[in-house]
Amino acid sequence: MKKILFTILTTLILIGVARSECNDDIDFKANEFSNISYNFEFLNKSNREIIITEIRLLTKDEQIIKSTELYSPETLKPFGRLVINMNIFDVNKNMIAFTEYLCNYK
């Protein structure tokens, strides 16, 4: 009985940890900055450092138009602001419908 209770409690704790994603701690917006650049702005709402590892432009059916994996990932400081630019001179801007990013806690 104790093993079953321990297993259930451990599972519930792990589910709670898994649900606390870094995306929940970020206010994010992206917009066309100029004819050749897109701005991704990140605002950290937590006291934890967050690493931005990739930024993407997507079509309306969520196909990746352009993706930039950040080889030296950008750090979003606690309660900080970070702006990352992506060149779009080689992209059909009419196809951009969504933006997204990938992140991890440091």
pLDDT < 70 positions in the chain: 1-20
Q: What digits encode the pLDDT tens for the residues 29-55?
A: 999 988 899 999 999 999 999 999 999
What's the domain range around 57? Answer: 22-105
For position 83, which CATH number holds? 2.60.40
Cross-strand bridge partners of residue 54: 69, 102
In total, how many domains does the chain have? 1
Q: What is the pLDDT of residue 55?
A: 96
Q: What is the pLDDT of residue 16?
A: 44
Has residue 61 been placed in a domain? yes
The residues, any chain, with a CB within 8 Å of residue 48's CB and separated by 6 or more, are: 22, 25, 78, 105, 106
Q: Which two tokens stand for residue 33?
A: 């900055």
Instruction: Give this prediction's pTM.
Output: 0.77
Has residue 100 been placed in a domain? yes
